[in-house]
Amino acid sequence: MKNTNDISACIRSMLENYFHDLEGEMPNDIYDMVIKSVERPMLEVTLRQAGGNQTLAAGMLGINRNTLRKKISEHRLL
């Protein structure tokens, strides 16, 4: 099982690269950018692991099934 610190380290590294690549320009909407970048693949992989079963996927994610359905719709995963 992967350590969640590996995910944090990956995100930290990517953000450091992002700021470096800005070359001093002021960033905007970093929070939304990161959440959108992480949320879609997390949903895709979890749904695949759950065999498309939204109830099971919601349980794996620790969220309500209706919240999962909303996120699926937001990300146009269906």
User: What is the pTM for the complete model shown?
Assistant: 0.80
The full set of domain ranges for the chain reads: 4-74
| 63 DSSP 8-state letter | S
d(CA 54, CA 76): 15
* Fold annotation for 4-74: Arc Repressor Mutant, subunit A (1.10.10)
Task: Choose among 61, 33, 31: nearest CA to 47.
Answer: 61
Tokens of 43: 């949903």
Task: Choose among 40, 43, 39: nearest CA to 52.
Answer: 43
d(CA 70, CA 68): 5
Each residue's pLDDT expressed in tens, for the chain with a length of 78 residues: 567 678 999 999 999 999 999 998 999 999 999 998 999 999 999 999 999 999 999 999 999 999 999 999 999 998
